[in-house]
């Protein structure tokens, strides 16, 4: 298992907050993290530090792509998808990535950077087709209704989002000719909650005898509760601002809200980290990337170890200098590096 290296980006003077000192020699997101301090809520953050935190990192990437929206059939009603296809002529069928945004199983959409910008970036880098899936979302933890989807149902819990994802994979393969892809070169990937769904779909489809070409899991949710961190992970988490953490109570509430029943009843199709070695043994090549300043990296590392022990071809990497959700930061150097690796893996299918 390897870890990527990243260049040392010097602090950007134009973003430096007056009166708020930051250590030099840090990566850019790391520098901004240091300005937030150790306050408990966003309301307590220095306003200028908050402005710096939210400032863009750079312009969006531009790729020559044909982008089309569809509503495909699913067991709970139509599933919206967005298909990204390189405009340049292809020598033959292209590889394909079915991509799932994150959002705690409650938020996110096809337009968020983690959905749209990543889909564009991977399609362009890999000369591949990307099918981005707008799976159904759960209600808020406080009971507020989630974003409505065509066809319902009124309340969403597991396995409904996973059903949507598996329906999207089936549609993608069945539409291989129209999409210009090789159905044997279809991978699945996702970020955060989408990473959980990607891993779960890979597991369920493998159990059904429909093996995907690869899984790309970016800072994924893998377990209902975080395993214990090692010393290096603990040191990084101690430097992470509290409002960016995933403490036990947050994970418990999010995971319970997703499955809609006690966590003791969770299955590997809910959280793949619960699977046995025998269940994991049938999975395809898997890439897991964790963020340095992120509680979820502990579960990602643990899941990588589980896969390795099961004999799966797995690569685990820690993206240094970033916190959870770095793919949502357009223009961030480390986000480009993550998409570089994703694009390389998809191109190699």
> Could you list the active site residues?
192, 294, 324
DSSP 272-306: GGG--HHHHTT--EEEEEEEEE-THHHHHHHHHHH
| Cis peptide leading into residue 153 (ω within 30°) | yes
CA dist list (Å): 7 to 4, 326, 344? 10, 16, 19
DSSP element (H, E) containing 253:
helix 248-259
CA dihedral in degrees (233, 107, 83, 223; nearest 10)? 40
Enter the DSSP assignment of 17: P
CB contact set of 41 (below 8 Å; sequence gap of 6+): 242, 243
How far apart (Å, rounded) are the C-alpha atoms in residues 69 and 164? 16
Which residue matches tokens 């980006």? 9
CA 84 to chain centre: 18
How far apart (Å, rounded) are the C-alpha atoms in residues 69 and 74? 15
Which residue matches tokens 């357009």? 330
The helix-helix angle for 296-309 and 231-238 (nearest 10°) equals: 160
How far apart (Å, rounded) are the C-alpha atoms in residues 217 and 242? 24
């Amino acid at each position: 298992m390897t870890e990527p290296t990243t260049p040392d980006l010097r602090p950007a003077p134009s973003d430096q907050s007056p009166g708020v000192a930051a250590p030099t020699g840090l990566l850019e997101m790391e520098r901004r993290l240091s300005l937030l301090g150790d306050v408990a809520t966003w309301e307590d953050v220095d306003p200028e530090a908050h402005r710096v935190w939210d400032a863009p990192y750079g312009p969006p990437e531009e790729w020559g792509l044909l982008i089309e929206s569809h509503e495909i059939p699913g067991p709970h009603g139509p599933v919206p998808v967005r298909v990204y296809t390189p405009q340049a002529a292809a020598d033959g069928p292209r590889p394909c990535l079915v991509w799932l945004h994150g959002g705690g199983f409650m938020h996110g959409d096809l337009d968020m950077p983690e959905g749209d910008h990543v889909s564009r970036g991977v399609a362009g880098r890999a000369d591949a087709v990307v099918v981005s899936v707008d799976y159904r979302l759960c209600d808020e933890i406080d009971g507020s209704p989630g974003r409505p989807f065509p066809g319902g149902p009124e309340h969403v819990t597991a396995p409904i989002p996973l059903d949507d994802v598996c329906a999207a994979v089936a549609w993608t393969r069945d539409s291989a000719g129209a999409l210009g892809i090789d159905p044997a070169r279809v991978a699945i990937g996702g970020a955060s909650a989408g990473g959980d769904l990607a891993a779960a779909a890979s597991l369920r489809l493998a159990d059904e005898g429909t093996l995907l070409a690869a899984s790309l899991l970016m800072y994924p949710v893998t377990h209902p509760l975080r395993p214990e961190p090692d010393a290096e992970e603990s040191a990084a988490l101690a430097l992470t601002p509290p409002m960016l953490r995933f403490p036990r109570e947050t994970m418990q509430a999010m995971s319970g809200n997703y499955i809609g029943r006690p966590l003791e009843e969770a299955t590997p199709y809910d959280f793949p980290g619960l699977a046995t070695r025998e269940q994991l043994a049938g999975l395809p090549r898997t890439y897991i990337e964790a963020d340095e300043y992120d509680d979820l990296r502990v579960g990602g590392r643990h899941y990588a170890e589980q896969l390795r022990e099961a004999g799966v071809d797995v690569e685990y990497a820690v993206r240094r200098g970033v916190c959870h959700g770095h793919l949502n930061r357009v223009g961030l150097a480390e986000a480009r590096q993550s998409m570089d690796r994703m694009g390389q893996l998809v191109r190699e299918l």
